A and B are shown apart, each in its own frame.
Chain A
């Protein structure tokens, strides 16, 4: 097997065009994208800045009274009414939002001022504000009915801005996350009332905020491009089989007593090492020249290498599968077409071309089942300092994916005499 591996690595290395494509193209693309986007987005996490105006049109006490009145009219037990009224009085939704934005960490990033709507629009037009968060009239009433009576809420918080931007997306996420967490907390039951005496900063929301601080677009490019190009390596190595058949060396291999599976394993291992090298080089170079991951610890880098290795394993499994398919199909154009389609759909679904984080949840969920999408998600989480435990399941999934591919590849690998 060692000789097969050595041969495959050598053959790859000699194909200078391929080497350039695999090693330098992703780096070039990352640099170009960075230059192209550096004017649009501020890459420096510290200076990510959004001036937000909070327009509070909510009339808390009036709406609370309305809600209480409604409860009184309802046909339920007095005790229940009592309890609900108590709970309702404890909840001050609009204040919670304001409190949330008062968090010193968040404030550093999104300073806000309370303004009237007319004033806010003027400030946005003048460029002094980047976005307006509008807490609409009826918000308290709506939130209370939604939380306590499980009715559909109809007056959502709206975010207004002069132009769409990456930061605006993030702001939207922050607010959505906050609302989700709020809902969750209430849904959790009895302790709610007590907890909310003191405005609580929902944990979920906070995490996202920290994420925003540490995850930026250059990091996305680095991760997306290196994983995408690793997938290309699976295709490239497998397609060498076509050359080996065309150049008849495959027959010469069959003339020996070597186990044909060694041939397959050589390809698999070669892909593992090549994609590993490719990704490590991409990370190393972008780090050296662009400082994509500033001030990260050794532990962070070890984690990155582990994740990359797991993904490289998956890519090598894919390459084994591609190799077997190439041998069965006997039609190199068809094979190449199929592989390009697979790799491209992995690229699209896995978020290599645009970040999944901005897309509807469905796409994010699909993306997390695509190896490169999963790897990307895990790496992004890892940048945001999740715990080591969070890496275990994704890595297991990647390894399972590798094994599945390999098993299929070995099963369909043509036996001698039929080739």
Chain B
């Protein structure tokens, strides 16, 4: 098990990570979500021994990794947010170099390189220079390089940023296989909710350096279970009506959307009645009414006030 205890990092005045406690059980697949600047990458840097925490601890099977990180380096594979490869070297040469310094045994290295290349689907292009690769291909080599030493825990920091859907699917599939077939523990950071929903058993949501919510998908959704999202289409728009709705007691927020308004309100049986009433009073007809099932995206919005992507 890998866990952080009150892990904090302050850059000058800025608290980038603020006393977070997260854990990864063996074989689990966990998502780490958060808007830009939430502190995800900083957390990952501290877990992977690249960055010394200001305070707090990172423990691997109960043993602190801060003083002696050699153990965690052995079991950890990190796919950094930015592509970390020698542009001037071929995919194969990159993997060979990183395999060597990960101390993969000589006799196994050749096989292993071919294995990971196969996993990310780049076996037939291994001798081409990385700088000639597309963004998606670079991302895949970036992942392959983290897999060479058979890591028990794999941390991926936004591995699918800015790439084509095909590469993205390939990467997701690779990660899923690693988790399901090889029992690799996964910590997956992304700006794409559907990726996390698809891959992860559990999710942490970070904002402003803090974990603001955590749990399985259902647990997170239950945060919103006391609220309804109502999508309403009107015969015409009216500021008066908007104000009237905002003034209703259970309503938490009202947003104008492209084809009407969206209301987030506490669960309340009288809301529908009141809506119809208010519309009638303004001489407006409700042409369409829909009660929406909340998504994780809504949970995220609810917690951070920001959408996942800018």
- A323 and B80 CA atoms in complex are apart in Å by 24
- A255 and B157 CA atoms in complex are apart in Å by 14
Chain A residue numbers with a CB within 8 Å of B218 are: none
* B49 interface residue (CB < 8 Å to A): yes
Contact A7 B89, beta carbon cutoff 8 Å:
yes
Chain A residue numbers with a CB within 8 Å of B96 are: 3
* A256 interface residue (CB < 8 Å to B): yes
A8-16, A192-200, A325-333, A404-412: which one contacts chain B?
A8-16
Contact check: which of A10, A248, A252 meets B89 at CB < 8 Å? A10
Chain B residue numbers with a CB within 8 Å of A33 are: none
Chain B residue numbers with a CB within 8 Å of A251 are: 50, 80, 84
- A249 and B94 CA atoms in complex are apart in Å by 10
Contact check: which of B48, B73, B82, B145 meets A257 at CB < 8 Å? B73
Known pairs A10-B93, A417-B51; A253 contacts B101 (CB<8 A): yes
Contact A256 B103, beta carbon cutoff 8 Å:
yes
Contact A255 B88, beta carbon cutoff 8 Å:
no
Contact B97 A254, beta carbon cutoff 8 Å:
no
Contact check: which of B87, B88, B101 meets A256 at CB < 8 Å? B101
- A252 and B88 CA atoms in complex are apart in Å by 16
How distant is A244 from chain B, measured CB to nearest CB, in Å? Answer: 8
* A258 interface residue (CB < 8 Å to B): yes
Chain A residue numbers with a CB within 8 Å of B182 are: none
* B83 interface residue (CB < 8 Å to A): yes
Chain B residue numbers with a CB within 8 Å of A248 are: 80, 82-84
* B70 interface residue (CB < 8 Å to A): yes
Contact A255 B87, beta carbon cutoff 8 Å:
no
* A369 interface residue (CB < 8 Å to B): no
Contact A7 B97, beta carbon cutoff 8 Å:
yes
Within 8 A of B (CB), among A253-285: 253-258, 262
- A321 and B52 CA atoms in complex are apart in Å by 26
Number of interface residues of A (CB under 8 A): 25
Contact with A along B82-123 (1 / 0, CB 8 A): 111111110001001110111100000000000000000000
- A43 and B96 CA atoms in complex are apart in Å by 51
Contact B86 A249, beta carbon cutoff 8 Å:
yes
Chain B residue numbers with a CB within 8 Å of A258 are: 101, 103
Contact with B along A170-186 (1 / 0, CB 8 A): 00000000000000000
Within 8 A of B (CB), among A305-323: none
* B74 interface residue (CB < 8 Å to A): yes
* B76 interface residue (CB < 8 Å to A): yes
Chain B residue numbers with a CB within 8 Å of A109 are: none
Contact with A along B58-90 (1 / 0, CB 8 A): 000000000000100110101010111111110
Known pairs A14-B129, A251-B80, A417-B52; A257 contacts B74 (CB<8 A): yes
- A257 and B49 CA atoms in complex are apart in Å by 11
Contact A11 B86, beta carbon cutoff 8 Å:
yes
* A4 interface residue (CB < 8 Å to B): yes
Nearest chain B residue, comparing its CB with the CB of A258? B101
* A6 interface residue (CB < 8 Å to B): yes
Interface centre among B82, B85, B101, B102 (most CB of A within 10 A): B101
Chain B residue numbers with a CB within 8 Å of A2 are: 100
Contact check: which of B48, B88, B100, B101 meets A15 at CB < 8 Å? B88
Chain B residue numbers with a CB within 8 Å of A249 are: 84-86
- A252 and B100 CA atoms in complex are apart in Å by 12
Contact A11 B100, beta carbon cutoff 8 Å:
no
How distant is B179 from chain A, measured CB to nearest CB, in Å? Answer: 21
Contact A3 B83, beta carbon cutoff 8 Å:
no
* A247 interface residue (CB < 8 Å to B): yes
Known pairs A14-B129, A255-B73, A258-B103; A247 contacts B80 (CB<8 A): no
- A338 and B135 CA atoms in complex are apart in Å by 35
Contact with A along B11-51 (1 / 0, CB 8 A): 00000000000000000000000000000000000001111
- A252 and B73 CA atoms in complex are apart in Å by 11
Contact with B along A360-372 (1 / 0, CB 8 A): 0000000000000
Chain A residue numbers with a CB within 8 Å of B86 are: 7, 11, 244, 247, 249
Known pairs A7-B86, A248-B83; A255 contacts B103 (CB<8 A): no
Chain A residue numbers with a CB within 8 Å of B145 are: 252
Contact B52 A252, beta carbon cutoff 8 Å:
no
- A417 and B58 CA atoms in complex are apart in Å by 14
Contact A11 B89, beta carbon cutoff 8 Å:
yes
Known pairs A3-B100, A6-B97, A248-B82; A255 contacts B76 (CB<8 A): yes
Chain A residue numbers with a CB within 8 Å of B73 are: 255-257
Contact B101 A3, beta carbon cutoff 8 Å:
yes
Chain B residue numbers with a CB within 8 Å of A256 are: 73, 98, 101-103
Given pairs A248-B83, A252-B145, 10 additional interface contacts (CB within 8 A):
A7-B89, A15-B88, A247-B84, A247-B87, A249-B85, A255-B78, A257-B74, A257-B103, A258-B101, A417-B51
**What are 17 residue pairs bridging A and B, where the CB atoms are less than 8 Å apart in the complex?**
A3-B96, A4-B101, A7-B86, A10-B89, A247-B84, A248-B83, A248-B84, A249-B86, A252-B84, A252-B145, A254-B50, A255-B48, A255-B78, A256-B103, A258-B101, A417-B49, A418-B52
**Chain A residues near B (Cβ < 8 Å):** 2-4, 6-7, 10-11, 14-15, 244, 247-249, 251-258, 262, 416-418
Q: Which 10 residue pairs of A and B lie closest in terms of their CB atoms, listed nearest first? A: A248-B84, A3-B100, A14-B88, A417-B52, A258-B101, A252-B84, A256-B101, A7-B97, A257-B73, A248-B82
